[in-house]
Chain A
């Protein structure tokens, strides 16, 4: 199984770098994956997006629509793309510890 190593911690992931076991996720794991993607410091806006994605995943088993993320955080669409250069799926959902969403992402 592939792994990623950040700050002396090893995380088991799928080939795309999404956590193999979403249950091991916590804020520290989020911070590590973000760092791996080049986001050195997660600011309040990053956390707002990640927390909504994580909550939706825990309640409904999948990532929320981008509309929900925008409306609940009050962030504009383009701001979210700037916060997570890899996009809401490969960027934000991965940091939130979700499995890779189906489809062209």
Chain B
């Protein structure tokens, strides 16, 4: 790790100089050390040590704030528990803020006075990013996205070849030679986005969504230039880089004159582009942005597609991605979809906005140095899944899918992990068929 310099300290502290930022000032100064947050945190539940309590993280960043920004902290640091930024504190703060927090935010609703703890962890990461202490493994994914426009460095030619291959498959699947995956079409209702892991390694979810768009008769397109819904700079806390990545997608949506951007099933990507993006770019979007989950629920609600729950009879449970459910407030839509698309849906406990993080959020999947911790926090999720008795675990987030896949093997769960689009595509009724059930008349 690079040595701390005066210049680095100065840059880092700019993030904490709350000045007129009332939110930062309030949250840095409000923790009453009640300890209620402890048992809401997957790290503390997996490793019951004081350093993993969310309040400890709050205390760490507040103590640095006090040391450099407040009068008493500057004059009598020992009296107010103010701490100096030195090489030792940097190691500690990097380990706790990058390596022991998924920014899942579960501690926030559990805080007795409402301190936005994950916001403070983000501020801490932002400070570390300013000082150049983002873990290399995480930075490498960001660099690839900045350089190539997608976080796996897929070339445009490779991407197009993959989509053509999937298009052949789609035509066979829906038995229609005119079915297609539209590329770079201007003026469509929807521009769809992807997580690059889909074209690279896991394209079943692209096929699923293409099939659904086809059956719904949607006017949509994919861009071959810029389709990446992820933004790992949201995780690193480097707002400048997060802004550049946001701008890439923003420009392409404008270029293709799409009315609505539909985000891939990606928790942090939804948060970064839809909810943080306008802040990164300091402007409102002139187009609509919604998540895949919302558009799928709308299709079913409006009757644009029909689903038949008899097609999926195994027991299905749902994992809520933190960024979508807890911070984005999107938790009803996935339930609306599943209750109509599968025969036997069971909830895990807790769920919805109180759900446990899978352990793979906050960039943890990219940072292999913290792998052991990630598997240990993930064990809580594995046990949640096991208790449901479900055979299929659905989650509208590719990052969660990857963590759950690893948990499935490590803890021998014997389940299948699927995205929501895959479930809908499996239960969808082809356009020319009608659903007939015992108690219902034929739906037209």
Query: Which residues of A pack against B, CB within 8 Å?
Result: 14-18, 37-38, 62-63, 65-67, 70-71, 77, 85-90, 100-105
Contacts and interface: CB of A to CB of B under 8 A. Distances in A.
A102 B368 contact: no
Contacts of B200: 63, 65-66, 101, 103, 105
Contacts of B368: 14-16, 18, 100
B144 interface: yes
A104 B165 contact: no
Interface residues of B, number: 38
Count chain A CB atoms within 10 A of each CB in B140, B141, B402 and give the residue with the most.
B402
A83 B110 CA distance: 43
Given A14-B369, A67-B161, A102-B141, 11 more contacts: A66-B201, A66-B202, A66-B203, A67-B158, A89-B197, A90-B402, A102-B151, A102-B152, A103-B144, A103-B152, A103-B230
A55 to B, nearest CB: 16
Given A62-B153, A105-B201, A87 B162 contact: no
Contact of B195 (A16, A70, A104): A104
Interface of B: 137, 140-141, 144, 151-154, 158, 161-162, 165, 195-197, 199-204, 230, 266, 365-372, 398-399, 402, 405-406, 408-409
Secondary structure class of chain B's binding surface, majority of residues = helix
A65 B153 contact: no
Given A77-B203, A104-B195, A105-B365, A86 B405 contact: yes
B152 A87 contact: no
A88 B398 CA distance: 15
A105 B369 CA distance: 14
Contacts of A66: 162, 199-203
Given A14-B368, A67-B161, A104 B399 contact: yes
Contacts of A71: 165
Contacts of B140: 102
A11 B93 CA distance: 31
Contacts of A14: 368-369
Contacts of A104: 151, 195-197, 230, 266, 365-366, 398-399, 402
Contacts of A70: 165
Nearest to B410: A86
A35 to B, nearest CB: 14
A40 to B, nearest CB: 15
Contact of B201 (A17, A37, A87): A87
A90 B152 contact: no
10 contacts: A14-B368, A15-B367, A17-B371, A87-B202, A89-B201, A102-B151, A103-B141, A104-B196, A104-B230, A104-B398
B402 A105 contact: yes
Count chain B CB atoms within 10 A of each CB in A14, A18, A77 and give the residue with the most.
A77
A17 to B, nearest CB: 8
Contacts of B141: 102-103
A70 B141 CA distance: 25
Contacts of A103: 141, 144, 151-152, 195-197, 200, 230, 366
B135 to A, nearest CB: 11
B165 A67 contact: yes
Contacts of A85: 408-409
Nearest to B200: A65
Nearest to A93: B201
A17 B372 CA distance: 11
Contacts of A87: 201-202, 402, 405
